[in-house]
Structure 1
Amino acid sequence: MDFSSKLENKNVLVTGGAGFIGSNLTEKLLELGAAVTVLDNFSTGHRHNIEPFLAYPKFTLIEGDIRNATTCADACRSQDFVLHQAALGSVPRSINDPVTSNDVNVGGFLNMLVAARDAGVKRMVYAASSSTYGDSESLPKVEEVIGKPLSPYAITKYVNELYADVFKRTYDFDTVGLRYFNVFGRKQDPNGAYAAVIPKFVIQLMNHQSPTINGDGTYSRDFTYIDNVIQMNLRAIVTDRPEALNQVYNTAVGDRTTIKNMAELLKQYLSEYDAAIGNVEILHGPVRKGDVPHSLASIDKAKKLLNYQPTHDFAQGLKEAVDWYWRNLK
Structure 2
Amino acid sequence: MKVLVTGGAGFIGSHLVDRLMEDGHEVRVLDDLSAGTLDNLKRWLNHERFEFIEGDMRDAETVENAIDGIEVVFHLAANPEVRIGSQSPELLYETNVLITYNLLNAMKDSGVKSLVFTSSSTVYGDAEIIPTPEDYAPLEPISVYGGAKLAAEALISGYAHTFDFKALIFRLANIIGERSNHGVIYDFINKLRRNPEELEILGDGTQRKSYLHVSDTVDGMLHIFEAFKKGNKRVDFYNLGNDDWITVKEIAEIVSEEMKLKPVFRFTGGVDGGRGWKGDVKFMRLSIEKAKKTGWKPKLDSYEAVRRTVRELLQTAKAEE
Name the TM-score, length of structure 2 as normaliser: 0.91
Percent sequence identity over aligned pairs? 32
Q: Is the 8 A contact 1:223 1:256 kept in 2?
A: yes
Residue identity in the other structure for 1:294: F
**Match in the other structure for 2:274:** none
**Match in the other structure for 1:192:** none
Deviation at 1:51, TM superposition (A): 2.4
- Greater than 4 Å deviation, 4+ residue runs: none
Q: Is the 8 A contact 2:166 2:233 kept in 1?
A: no
Residue identity in the other structure for 1:217: G
Q: Is the 8 A contact 2:246 2:303 kept in 1?
A: no
Q: Is the 8 A contact 1:81 1:124 kept in 2?
A: yes
Q: Kindly indicate whether residue 317 of structure 2 is the aligned counterpart of residue 329 of structure 1.
A: yes
Distance, in Å, in 2 between the alignment partners of 1:59 and 1:320 is 29
Distance, in Å, in 1 between the alignment partners of 2:152 and 2:222 is 20
Partner of 2:42, secondary structure, is helix
Distance, in Å, in 1 between the alignment partners of 2:10 and 2:199 is 24
**Match in the other structure for 2:145:** 153
Is the alpha carbon distance of 1:172 and 1:21 closer, same or farther for their aligned partners in structure 2, counting shifts above 3 Å?
same
**Larger fraction in helix:** 1
Q: Is the 8 A contact 1:35 1:59 kept in 2?
A: yes
**Match in the other structure for 2:304:** 316
Residue 116 of structure 1 is aligned with which of 90, 94, 107? 107
Distance, in Å, in 2 between the alignment partners of 1:161 and 1:218 is 30
Q: Is the 8 A contact 1:81 1:237 kept in 2?
A: no
Q: Is the 8 A contact 2:241 2:288 kept in 1?
A: yes
**Match in the other structure for 2:27:** 36
Q: Kindly indicate whether residue 173 of structure 2 is the aligned counterpart of residue 184 of structure 1.
A: no
Residue 233 of structure 1 is aligned with which of 221, 241, 256? 221
Q: Is the 8 A contact 2:211 2:305 kept in 1?
A: no
Distance, in Å, in 1 between the alignment partners of 2:222 and 2:259 is 31
Does 1 or 2 have the higher relative contact order (CA < 8 Å, sep 6+)? 2
Partner of 1:52, secondary structure, is coil
Distance, in Å, in 2 between the alignment partners of 1:96 and 1:286 is 20
Distance, in Å, in 1 between the alignment partners of 2:256 and 2:204 is 17
The 10-residue stretch of structure 1 (140-149 or 225-234) with the greater mean CA deviation from structure 2: 140-149
Partner of 1:12, secondary structure, is strand
Residue identity in the other structure for 1:149: P
Distance, in Å, in 1 between the alignment partners of 2:218 and 2:32 is 22
Deviation at 1:23, TM superposition (A): 0.9
**Match in the other structure for 2:273:** none
Name the TM-score, length of structure 1 as normaliser: 0.89
Deviation at 1:83, TM superposition (A): 0.7
**Match in the other structure for 1:163:** 155
Gaps of 5+ in 2: 271-276
Deviation at 1:207, TM superposition (A): 4.7
Q: Is the 8 A contact 1:88 1:105 kept in 2?
A: yes
Partner of 1:282, secondary structure, is strand
Deviation at 1:244, TM superposition (A): 5.7
Gaps of 5+ in 1: 1-9, 190-194, 272-276
Distance, in Å, in 2 between the alignment partners of 1:171 and 1:116 is 9
Number of aligned residues: 309
Deviation at 1:100, TM superposition (A): 1.6
**Match in the other structure for 1:274:** none
Partner of 2:17, secondary structure, is helix
The 10-residue stretch of structure 1 (127-136 or 205-214) with the greater mean CA deviation from structure 2: 205-214
Residue 238 of structure 2 is aligned with which of 234, 239, 249? 249
**Match in the other structure for 2:247:** 258
